[in-house]
């Protein structure tokens, strides 16, 4: 966090491409990092919400996914 110039109190506001921090955090406790497939799913979701917003998400989901 400090190397990226971001204050520690902003750890809750990670963006869709900041999985390096999560991988680092997992390594600190001896766990494997996030799977690349899971990262891609999160990137896709974050991009969707950035483009479409949260409003109407349920309706879009019901129309397109069920």
User: Is 31 within the bounds of a domain?
Assistant: yes
User: Is 36 within the bounds of a domain?
Assistant: yes
* DSSP per-residue string spanning 4-62: TT--GGGTT---TT-HHHHHHHHHHTT-----HHHHHHHHHHHHHHHHH-STTHHHHHH
Identify the domain containing residue 42 by its residue range: 8-65
Q: How many domains does the chain have?
A: 1
User: Is 55 within the bounds of a domain?
Assistant: yes
Q: What is the pLDDT of residue 14?
A: 58
16: nearest Cα among 36, 45, 57, 53: 45
**Distance (Å, rounded) from C-alpha 46 to C-alpha 31?**
24
pTM above 0.75, yes or no: no
User: Is 42 within the bounds of a domain?
Assistant: yes
pLDDT tens track for 9-25 = 655 555 655 788 888 88
Tokens describing residue 29: 């406790």
């Amino acid at each position: 966090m400090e190397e990226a110039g971001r204050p520690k109190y902003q750890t809750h506001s990670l963006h869709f491409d900041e999985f390096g921090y999560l991988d680092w955090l997992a390594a600190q406790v001896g766990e494997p990092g996030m799977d690349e497939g899971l990262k891609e799913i999160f990137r896709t979701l974050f991009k969707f919400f950035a483009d479409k917003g949260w409003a109407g998400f349920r309706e879009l989901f019901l129309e397109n996914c069920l």
